[in-house]
């Protein structure tokens, strides 16, 4: 089975964000401002990338899609961070409609037609459980009779944590959310070239059969000043608490997140 993931990293294009801009230059200024990029890089280094590198099943690829004019110093930084994570493939595209270019990126890197295509998304500040790839593949095997009858099916692991990160380390709150951009995938029938970006993730249940796993901590969702969408919980703030020593060990085992390392990363000056 071919497993392909998609991570948008401050891609400069049209659409794709809830925040709108009048011109492409306005969007460029927003996406590439130093404080925003540093925030994304801190999360990517301390949270996202460890969860990718720590997968118990390493047989997958993750496309990191950037714009062709991504600032050179930050491109060097991205390449250096991912150099020893062979699953990561950095791909640059010109400014286009966001959904169109993400579909193109997935299709440009599609696997062999005789293999079923397992696809997932991961934002550049979130994390997935260390066994997400293994469980995704296992579910594909278990549901072969189902997805062979449908154009695609969705697989959703909808439990985990929302978190804030800073020099003091992680602060977390237990969280369940259906069809988020984390620990969610689709399995595409043989011979088709549908991509996960052909569908609206929050409405996958209206387009295809879905298989839901509500009892495994599989997603870790970031909350910070540069979230594209402001997360709400019935209008009430999240009840964040710092990780205990026991939780630190659990997060290392579950997500490959080292809280002490995270404190170091988030304590650095802007650079």
Structure-token pair, residue 251: 């997060």
Predicted pLDDT of residue 226: 59
Predicted pLDDT of residue 25: 87
Residues in the chain where the model's pLDDT stays below 70: 15-21, 225-236
Geometric angle at alpha carbon 69, from 21 and 82, rounded to 5°: 110
pTM of the model: 0.92
- Measuring CA to CA, which residue among 119, 140, 112 is closest to residue 196? 119
Structure-token pair, residue 97: 């409609």
Predicted pLDDT of residue 236: 62
Q: What are phi and psi of 99, to 5 degrees?
A: -65, -40
- d(CA 72, CA 53) in angstroms, rounded, equals 24
Predicted pLDDT of residue 123: 94
- d(CA 181, CA 71) in angstroms, rounded, equals 26
Predicted pLDDT of residue 54: 97
> Which residue(s) pair with 3 in the sheet?
118
- Measuring CA to CA, which residue among 115, 17, 101 is closest to residue 61? 115
CA distances from 29 to 22, 97, 228, 264 (A): 12, 18, 15, 28
Predicted pLDDT of residue 21: 64
Predicted pLDDT of residue 158: 95
Predicted pLDDT of residue 166: 94
């Amino acid at each position: 089975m071919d497993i392909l993931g998609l991570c948008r990293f401050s891609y400069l294009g049209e659409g794709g964000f809830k925040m709108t801009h009048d011109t492409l230059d306005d969007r460029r200024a927003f996406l590439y401002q130093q404080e925003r990029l540093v925030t994304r890089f801190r999360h990517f280094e301390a949270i996202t990338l460890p969860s990718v590198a720590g997968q118990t099943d390493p047989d997958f690829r993750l496309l990191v899609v950037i714009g062709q004019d991504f600032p050179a110093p930050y491109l060097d930084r991205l390449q250096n961070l991912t150099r020893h994570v062979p699953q990561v493939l950095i791909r640059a595209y010109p400014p286009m409609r966001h959904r169109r270019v993400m579909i193109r990126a997935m299709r440009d890197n599609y696997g062999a037609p005789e293999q079923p295509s397992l696809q997932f998304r991961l934002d550049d500040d979130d994390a997935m459980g260390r066994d997400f790839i293994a469980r995704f593949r296992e579910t594909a095997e278990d549901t072969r009779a189902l997805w062979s009858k449908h154009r695609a099916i969705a697989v959703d692991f909808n439990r985990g944590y929302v978190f804030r990160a800073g020099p003091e380390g992680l602060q977390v709150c237990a969280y369940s959310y259906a069809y988020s951009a984390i620990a969610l995938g689709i399995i595409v029938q043989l011979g088709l070239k549908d991509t996960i970006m052909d569908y609206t993730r929050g409405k996958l249940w209206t387009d295809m059969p879905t298989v839901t796993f509500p009892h495994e901590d599989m997603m870790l969702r970031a909350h910070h000043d540069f979230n594209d969408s402001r997360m709400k919980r019935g209008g009430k703030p999240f009840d964040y608490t710092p990780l205990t020593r026991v939780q630190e060990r659990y997060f290392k085992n579950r997500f490959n997140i080292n809280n002490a390392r995270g404190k170091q990363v988030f304590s650095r000056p802007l650079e």
